């Protein structure tokens, strides 16, 4: 195990923010992780677990240990006539897993094509896009306890998935490293094409019978046209979550702002498009120093080059305040702020 000192994290986070890790270790096997968690007293250290760094804002150096999880492997562990259980190790690139399923014609992950990051982080916020979340195909996961190295299996119910939420962002926060995730994929998939843009793109592409591949291609096309590529422009996807507000509050906002965008959420609640509200506050495409809100997607904050994490955080707070002043709605970060 090679523990390095004073390592730059700039190329390891998609915002492209410069920050240093006091200690840095890349882990490639379960055995190494067991040694780390049993012998290094991680409970008393400041530990940051890192996957692809695509949902993280570094506002300061990490005065502790950064553990980059690079466990690899995709394997089929069970199947029957209808389903297939596939186990992917935490360090696998998420999109590579999706492409594996698409190549083999197994359904369930196609709407989640092209989401950056690694498999190990996917349950953290129950990643989702175009009407699908991983909770729809999630079977179970294996995680190691930072304090002592015990390996535990989490069932679907134990993960407590919600919209961009799981137990790992709440009571289990900072306690586990996810080692692998098992998904239950479909041999006879039921496709989810409810999202308007998917229907339109399939139609434009002349697709009459949807397939795993056709939907994945459509999602890749939509995402590539809307979201900035972090390799070109530093960003972490949607900076804020779409807030869920009581239906009565939404109805009253609708009277004042007839074009406001909202979707039914949990009972009695409406999910409001944060991107729409941010745009109405005049932030879309605005550049403030090295940072800004993207010109095509106001919810995505970007680093135009040389930004610090604190600059992005300041922009986020200014946006949050103006949305609150105009709409009386508090938008909260989706991105993990360090």
Q: Is 233 in the site for ligand FAD (CB under 6 A)?
A: no
- Closer residue to ligand EPU, CB minimum distance, 97 or 179: 97
Phi then psi for residue 150, to 5 deg, are -70, 135
Catalytic residue, candidates 26, 110, 133, 164: 164
- Closer residue to ligand FAD, CB minimum distance, 55 or 308: 55
Judge whether 238 counts as a catalytic residue: yes
Q: Is 265 in the site for ligand EPU (CB under 6 A)?
A: no
Q: Is 97 in the site for ligand FAD (CB under 6 A)?
A: no
Q: Is 272 in the site for ligand EPU (CB under 6 A)?
A: no
Among positions 275, 302, 315, 338, the unique one binding ligand EPU when judged by CB under 6 A: 275
Helix intervals (H) in 160-234: 196-204, 212-226
Distance of closest approach, residue 81 Cβ to ligand FAD, in angstroms: 31
User: Cβ–Cβ contacts within 10 Å for residue 25, how many?
Assistant: 18
Q: Is 49 in the site for ligand FAD (CB under 6 A)?
A: yes
User: Which parts of the chain are beta strand (E)?
Assistant: 4-8, 20-27, 47-50, 56-57, 62-69, 74-79, 83-89, 128-129, 132-133, 138-145, 151-155, 176-186, 234-238, 244-246, 262-264, 269-272, 287-288, 291-293, 300-303, 336-337
- What, of ligand EPU, ligand FAD, none, does residue 215 touch, CB below 5 to 8 Å by kind? none
Distance of closest approach, residue 55 Cβ to ligand EPU, in angstroms: 7
User: Cβ–Cβ contacts within 10 Å for residue 216, how many?
Assistant: 22
What are the strands of the beta sheet with 151-155, ordered from one edge? 74-79, 83-89, 176-186, 138-145, 151-155
- Closer residue to ligand FAD, CB minimum distance, 106 or 130: 130
- Closer residue to ligand EPU, CB minimum distance, 167 or 299: 299
* Distances in whole angstroms, Cα of residue 317 to Cα of each of 76, 122, 135, 280, 333: 45, 26, 30, 16, 10
Q: Is 244 in the site for ligand EPU (CB under 6 A)?
A: no
Distance of closest approach, residue 85 Cβ to ligand FAD, in angstroms: 20
Helix (H) or strand (E) holding 33: helix 30-39
Distance CA 214, CA 209 (A): 9
Judge whether 8 counts as a catalytic residue: no
Catalytic residue, candidates 26, 92, 133, 334: 334
Query: Contact positions toward ligand FAD, by CB under 6 A?
Result: 14, 48-56, 69, 90, 115-118, 120-122, 124-125, 127-129, 177-178, 227, 230, 235-237, 336
Which residues are part of the catalytic machinery?
A: 164, 238, 334
- Contacts with ligand EPU by CB under 6 A lie at 129-130, 226, 237-238, 241-242, 261, 273, 275-276, 279, 284, 297-299, 334
């Amino acid at each position: 195990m090679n523990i390095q000192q004073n390592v730059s994290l700039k190329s390891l986070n998609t915002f492209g923010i410069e920050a240093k890790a006091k200690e840095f270790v890349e882990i490639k096997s379960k055995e190494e992780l067991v040694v780390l968690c049993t012998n290094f007293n991680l409970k008393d250290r400041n530990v940051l677990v890192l996957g692809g760094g695509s949902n993280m804002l570094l506002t300061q150096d990490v005065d502790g240990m950064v553990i980059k999880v690079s466990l690899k492997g995709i394997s089929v562990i069970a199947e029957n006539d209808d389903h297939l259980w596939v186990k992917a190790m935490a360090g696998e690139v998420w999109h590579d897993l999706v492409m594996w399923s698409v190549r083999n014609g197994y359904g369930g992950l196609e709407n989640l094509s092209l989401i950056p990051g690694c498999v190990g982080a996917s349950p953290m916020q129950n990643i989702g896009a175009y009407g699908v979340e991983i909770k729809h195909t999630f079977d179970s996961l294996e995680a190691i306890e930072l304090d002592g190295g015990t390996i535990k299996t989490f069932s679907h119910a134990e993960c407590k998935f919600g919209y961009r939420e799981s137990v790992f962002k709440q009571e289990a926060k900072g306690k586990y490293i996810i080692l692998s995730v098992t998904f239950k994929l479909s041999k006879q998939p039921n496709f989810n094409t409810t999202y308007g843009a998917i229907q339109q793109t399939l139609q434009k592409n002349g697709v009459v019978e949807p397939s795993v591949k056709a939907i994945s291609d459509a999602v890749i096309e939509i995402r590539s046209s809307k979201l900035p590529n972090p390799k070109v422009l530093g960003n972490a996807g949607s900076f804020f979550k779409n807030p869920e507000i009581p239906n009565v509050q939404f109805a009253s906002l609708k009277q004042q702002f007839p074009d406001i965008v909202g979707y039914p959420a949990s009972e009695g609640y409406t999910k409001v498009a944060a991107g729409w509200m941010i745009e109405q506050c005049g932030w879309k495409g605005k550049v403030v120093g090295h940072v800004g809100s993207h010109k095509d997607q106001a919810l995505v904050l970007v680093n135009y080059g040389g930004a610090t994490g604190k600059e992005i955080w300041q922009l986020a707070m200014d946006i949050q305040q103006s949305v609150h002043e105009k709409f009386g709605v508090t938008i909260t970060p989706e991105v993990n702020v360090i």
